[in-house]
């Protein structure tokens, strides 16, 4: 098995492991901040054919636009099972698939909009994943990302880098990614970045 495949499999297993308690782990911060930020992100969606990357347990389901045609993917089968159960419980119309954003099984220029919330902190090769996002999004289509990134404050960045190996092994996400820069490197046209909290949480608006 190639090294990049081993890394992906390791991260997949981490998310399979925490899937049963994932919603409980984030319940307080979801009610306090994340839910409002998700609502803000989805309020900016303009197209009808939407891809949600890394939907996890389906926390974005309540914010899907009415009449939209949404496909949502995740690489963790246990996260996907919980998302299926949530979609059935609340009558959410969504096409759920197990896929890896680093190797999407969609044709070029398929979607009007691609959305991801707290995803590219966990993708093993984030630039590769972002390139795939740009490939499957129609030219000029929206790419909307809600992410946490490495702080621009040197002291806080040092502490984040120090803590990252422990947190990533325990829970999956990396807290020291530079997702704004990675989006630009991938070829996406970054048009706006909104600082949501502490210079760490960002809403990134880009075009394919």
What does DSSP assign to residue 32? I
- Averaged pLDDT score across all residues of the chain: 94
151: alpha, beta or left? (left if phi > 0; alpha if psi -120 to 50): beta
Residue with tokens 């630039």: 127
Query: Could you give the 3-state DSSP secondary structure of residue 118?
Result: coil
What value does the mean pLDDT take over residues 29-43?
Answer: 95
pLDDT of residue 167: 85
What value does the mean pLDDT take over residues 135-158?
Answer: 96
pTM over 0.75: yes
Contact between 67 and 84 under an 8 Å Cβ cutoff? The reply is: no
| Structure tokens given for 47 | 């197209």
- Between residues 29 and 117, the one the model is more confident about: 117
- Between residues 180 and 172, the one the model is more confident about: 180
CATH of the domain at 50: 3.40.50.150
Domain limits for position 143: 3-207
pLDDT of residue 37: 97
126-142 pLDDT tens trace: 999 999 999 999 999 99
Instruction: Provide the edge-to-edge strand list for the sheet that holds 49-53.
Output: 95-98, 69-74, 49-53, 111-117, 137-148, 201-207, 189-197
Q: Is the pLDDT of residue 13 over 70?
A: yes
Q: Is the pLDDT of residue 1 over 50?
A: no
Q: How many domains does the chain have?
A: 1
């Amino acid at each position: 098995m190639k090294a990049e495949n081993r890394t992906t499999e390791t991260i997949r297993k981490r998310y399979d492991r925490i899937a049963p308690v994932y919603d409980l782990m984030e319940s307080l911060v979801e009610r306090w901040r994340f839910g409002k930020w998700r609502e803000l992100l989805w309020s900016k969606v303009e197209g009808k054919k939407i891809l949600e990357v890394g939907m996890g347990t389906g926390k974005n389901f309540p914010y899907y636009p009415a009449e939209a045609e949404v496909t949502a993917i995740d690489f963790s089968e246990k996260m996907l099972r919980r998302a299926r159960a949530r979609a059935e419980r609340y009558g959410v119309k969504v096409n759920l698939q197990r896929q890896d954003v680093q190797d999407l099984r969609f044709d070029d220029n398929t979607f009007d909009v691609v959305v991801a919330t707290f995803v590219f902190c966990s993708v093993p090769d984030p630039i590769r994943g972002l390139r795939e996002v740009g490939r499957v999004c129609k030219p000029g289509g929206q790419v909307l990302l809600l992410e946490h990134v490495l702080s621009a404050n040197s002291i806080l960045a040092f502490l984040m880098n120090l803590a990252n190996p422990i947190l990533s092994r325990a829970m999956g996400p990396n807290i020291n990614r530079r997702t704004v820069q990675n989006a630009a490197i991938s070829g996406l046209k970054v048009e706006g970045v909104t600082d949501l909290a502490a210079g760490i949480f960002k809403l990134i608006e880009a075009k394919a």
